[in-house]
């Protein structure tokens, strides 16, 4: 067989790659996974009773900003890790920035808080359940995000799984903010981040098994 005939045979019936496939898969994953997290939160925990008042409170939006920024950064990292040969680069810095910001804010709040009230500002009222609640709410997102990643031929399976788990965890934390009564920055810096770390670890464990293609 001649070279030209071989090339023609291999290229026959090859459809062009959809340039919007990444955006479409992750849009569906986040919409369905986010809706699932909100539904679980509403059914299992309920909205905080003063949510209407909180919507006019800057500190509430600062609390939501942490998981929102982490979700955006995790989305960038996850979409890049989902495709072979695509470097993450500044995506790692984007992940570190909101974590550094909340820790700086937590240290400042800790310093300004009277010594006898510091432990209370760190532990809040729900430190025992907060990380587990976030991990529970991340389950719909883990399913949908892993579906999105698997269809895009990832290569670094464990890292991609961890990034996907963080994306699901950050989305779940954003939903959890609609229920959580805690308003202390030190609390968010420890227990919210721990809650997001749990699905990240689950994603890293499941990545090599579920993302193989």
Provide the pLDDT for residue 18: 59
pTM value is 0.90
End-to-end Cα, the chain, rounded Å? 31
pLDDT-derived band at 16, boundaries 50, 70, 90: low
Compute the average pLDDT of residues 47-74: 95
Compute the average pLDDT of residues 175-184: 96
Q: What is the DSSP letter of 84?
A: T
Beta-carbon contacts of residue 145 (< 8 Å; ≥ 6 apart): 26, 29, 30, 33, 78, 164, 165, 167, 168
**Could you tell me the residue ranges of all domains in the chain?**
59-210
CA distance 27 to 50: 31
Q: Is the pLDDT of residue 105 over 80?
A: yes
**For the ranges 4-8, 115-119, 208-212, which has the lowest average pLDDT?**
4-8
Phi (first) and psi of residue 181, to 5 degrees: -85, -10
**Contact present, 80 and 22 (Cβ < 8 Å):** no
């Amino acid at each position: 067989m001649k070279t030209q005939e071989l090339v023609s045979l291999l290229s026959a019936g090859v459809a062009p790659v959809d340039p919007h496939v990444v955006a479409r898969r992750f849009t569906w994953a986040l919409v369905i996974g986010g809706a699932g997290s909100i539904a679980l939160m509403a059914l299992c925990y309920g909205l905080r009773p003063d949510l209407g008042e909180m919507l006019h409170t800057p500190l509430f939006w600062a609390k939501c900003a942490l998981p929102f920024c982490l979700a955006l950064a995790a989305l960038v990292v996850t979409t890049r890790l989902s495709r072979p040969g695509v470097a993450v680069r500044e995506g790692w810095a984007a992940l570190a920035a909101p974590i550094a910001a909340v820790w700086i804010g937590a240290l400042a709040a800790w310093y300004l808080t009277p010594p006898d009230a510091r432990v209370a500002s760190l532990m809040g009222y729900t430190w025992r359940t907060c990380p587990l609640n976030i991990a529970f709410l991340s389950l719909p997102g883990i399913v949908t995000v892993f579906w999105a990643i698997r269809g895009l031929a990832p290569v670094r399976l464990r890292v991609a799984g961890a990034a996907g788990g963080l994306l699901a965890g950050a989305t779940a934390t954003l939903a959890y903010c609609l229920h959580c009564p805690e308003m202390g920055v030190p609390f968010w810096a420890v227990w919210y981040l721990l809650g997001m770390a749990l699905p990240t670890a689950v994603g890293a464990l499941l990545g090599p098994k579920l993302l193989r293609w």
